[in-house]
Chain A
Amino acid sequence: MVSVNRQVRVLPALLLLLAGCAPAPAQPQAAPAPTELKIGAVLPLTGPFSASGGYFQQAYQLATDEVNGAGGLDVGGKKVQISLKILDDGSDATKSRSLVEQLATQEKVNALLGGYDTVLVQAQQGVPDQYKIPMVEGGGAASAIFTRGNKYLFGTLATIDDLGNITMDFLKYWIDQGKLPKPLRIALAWENTDHGKDYQAAVNKAAKDDPGHFQVVLDQSFDLNGSDFTPLLTQIKAANADAFLSDAHLPDFITMHRQYTQLGLKHKFVTYGARGPDQKGREALSSAADYLVAGLWWTPALTDQGSRKFTETWKTKFNVTPDWFQALAYDTARVLYAGITKAGSTDGDKIRDALAGLQFEGALVPGNKISFDQTGKPKTSYLMTQNLPNNEVAVVWPSSIEGAKPAMVPMPGTT
């Protein structure tokens, strides 16, 4: 009979012997190529943002269908079909975040496309880093999105501070051309949101840096979805400014500019930030919206080959003219897919690294390139448009852009 003590002494020796006889560990093999790529997005398909959410859904689907129609996405040399899962957050920020988490934990998506607008993107932005699943978003434009230390979040929408910057560059050019007074007296009105604060900061910085060109004579905020702008417009009238710069969402733009026109206000230059050529705005304001200047991420008035092709494709497929929402969402999906191809893998970390160093060519945005800085903020810019009579829109800045026309500055009817 073998004692227990002897068994204990013999056991390590046996284990060593077995280890010696065991075959050498196999060299790590390449992970099997994925057969399907799962992409998730949470969009506001119902509720206040449902119109824009619907545009994003159509554009994400179009970009995905194009890739799948061409045989799939190239991932590590193999064509892989993309499965796009889109959930509806009802325009609710809390629900938006929890649904993105659901995509990460239950649907096990490989990457994420972002929501719309800034508030919902801000609600979603914690999830990518938490689960190390990269997200590319084209619906949030406040610079605050990129100050939170995210490593897995990338944006394609140039931020609102850049909108302020390009507007001031544009004004400086026309001041130097002698078309606007020097220094230009500016009345500034901004909505009390991250958007508006970005715009205000950019305009004030430009004025502080270049007092020879700019003088801010009124700097006033207003509430989002305001009911009456007459007191604000009375201040603007009293400020006796040459230019009126405002950053507003569509309903406030319509109400404010109606009241502006009714009060008989006139400035040599008027802008409402990214508002102006919107069809709803032009319908609501009719000729009062003529000659307004806007800073945009994209417009169907662009004449470059990519923009023309996109506009035609969209019109054929959806029977409407696309706006920047559709174009940026389409670019956003294409950027993510280009990042995955560059990574050659469906691994979150590898896709993240690939996106961080991506130089995406053939984008619709001005300059036709999208890349990111270390915060994930896009290195893209705006273009400026001016409304013309008969519902026409002209691209007026930068002058280097294909098809750009000289702006009508000062606005006709002002001296």
Chain B
Amino acid sequence: MYEPSAIAGLVITAVLTAGLYALMSFGLALVYGVMKIINLAHAGTMMLSAFVVLSLNRALHLDPILGAVISAALFFGLGMLLYRVAVRRVVNAPPIASLLLLFGVWLCAQNAAYLIWGSEDQSIVTVYTYSTIDLGDVKIAVTRLIPFGVSLLALAGLSWFLRATDLGKAIRAVSQNAMAARLVGIRSERVATIAFGLGSALSAFAGGLLTLLFSFNPDFGGTFQLKSFSIIVLGGLESFTGVALGAVVLATAESFSILIPGWRGSLINLLAFSLLVAALVLLPGGIASLLERRGKSE
């Protein structure tokens, strides 16, 4: 039987994990929102960013959080370059073209990482790796609080950026109707380039922060990408609030799964895929559509 402190621990775990999942998913949602393409290179960006953070840590003893910021800036530029060189050529093609292109980019990133960093598992240890905050019997790892806090900041920052800045408004306009946006004078190509760069930067930032929690190798990121995909479908593909709520649903389901009698931990990924199927069949617009309907009815 689980003591109240264990249940409290599960609640906290669910909340912190949701923050982590949301952070991983924002970049994917932004790119889909503006370009209507699934960025399969998202996992490759997270993995490469983890290695960039590792290299900065080894060479300059840079803290992973600062390393993640630098890596995000680097991948903002690389993302825009990738868009200009390749992605923009397939944006208006059938979806399979962009899927194949970005899948190819992911494979190239993996193989480049094997060549540069090898196949061994890498990890970063900081002075706060084992630091915890004690709330009674419940211990909260600082390395889990950081991605959670950053995720909240990112959600607030993205919401402000999209609502209060001209560029943000332009991104929203392009995501709602690219043709209409062009007709009112928005340079949709420029907006899409920046949005892809921003999406890549968010993925890279998430990848950099994941080094606080996980060991990684060039195969890193695949599982997270599948979870992110489930989350954005569940959340409604284009809504950051929906993505955050989707992350809460998945993280809660995973954390509390252990209370199911006879539960096998090896089935945990099944939860993400079951939620994906359920969302596609029962709630095609995701949680965002529920929120929208509720808003209209009020």
Give residues 98-127 of B contacting A (CB, 8 Å).
114, 118-123, 125
A51 with B215: CB separation less than 8 A = no
B215 with A231: CB separation less than 8 A = no
* B160 is an interface residue with CB less than 8 A from chain A: no
* B139 is an interface residue with CB less than 8 A from chain A: yes
A51 with B255: CB separation less than 8 A = no
B254 with A231: CB separation less than 8 A = yes
* B274 is an interface residue with CB less than 8 A from chain A: no
Interface 9-residue window, one of B72-80, B169-177, B258-266? B258-266
Interface size on A, residues (CB 8 A): 41
B265 with A232: CB separation less than 8 A = yes
A220 with B121: CB separation less than 8 A = no
Contact with B along A394-409 (1 / 0, CB 8 A): 0000000000000000
* A374 is an interface residue with CB less than 8 A from chain B: no
B215 with A284: CB separation less than 8 A = yes
* A149 is an interface residue with CB less than 8 A from chain B: no
* B13 is an interface residue with CB less than 8 A from chain A: yes
Contact with A along B215-235 (1 / 0, CB 8 A): 111110001100100000000
* A135 is an interface residue with CB less than 8 A from chain B: no
**A110 to nearest B CB, angstroms?**
31
Interface size on B, residues (CB 8 A): 43
Contact with B along A240-274 (1 / 0, CB 8 A): 00000000001100110011011110000000000
* A129 is an interface residue with CB less than 8 A from chain B: no
**B245 to nearest A CB, angstroms?**
19
A238 to B114: give the CA distance in the assembly, Å.
Answer: 40
Q: Which of B9, B214, B258 contacts A227, CB < 8 Å?
A: B214
* A47 is an interface residue with CB less than 8 A from chain B: yes
A227 to B266: give the CA distance in the assembly, Å.
Answer: 11
* A360 is an interface residue with CB less than 8 A from chain B: no
Dominant secondary structure at the A interface? helix
* A192 is an interface residue with CB less than 8 A from chain B: yes
Q: Which residues in A have their C-beta under 8 angstroms from that of B241?
A: none
* A50 is an interface residue with CB less than 8 A from chain B: yes
A124 to B3: give the CA distance in the assembly, Å.
Answer: 49
Q: Which residues in B have their C-beta under 8 angstroms from that of A220?
A: 264-265
A48 with B125: CB separation less than 8 A = no
Contact with A along B263-298 (1 / 0, CB 8 A): 011101100000000000000000000000000000
**A73 to nearest B CB, angstroms?**
32
Given contacts A238-B2, A262-B141, A288-B130, contact A51 B120 (CB under 8 A): yes
* B10 is an interface residue with CB less than 8 A from chain A: yes
A264 to B130: give the CA distance in the assembly, Å.
Answer: 10
Q: Which residues in A have their C-beta under 8 angstroms from that of B6?
A: 234, 237-238
B269 with A48: CB separation less than 8 A = no
Q: Which of B3, B122, B125, B258 contacts A232, CB < 8 Å?
A: B258
A181 to B110: give the CA distance in the assembly, Å.
Answer: 48
* B1 is an interface residue with CB less than 8 A from chain A: yes
* A35 is an interface residue with CB less than 8 A from chain B: no
Given contacts A227-B214, A262-B141, contact A234 B268 (CB under 8 A): no
Given contacts A50-B114, A255-B214, contact A226 B13 (CB under 8 A): no
* A313 is an interface residue with CB less than 8 A from chain B: no
Known: A231-B10, A251-B121, A262-B139. 18 other contacts (CB 8 A): A50-B118, A221-B264, A221-B266, A225-B219, A226-B223, A227-B227, A230-B13, A234-B258, A238-B1, A250-B121, A261-B130, A262-B143, A262-B144, A263-B141, A283-B123, A283-B125, A285-B125, A288-B130
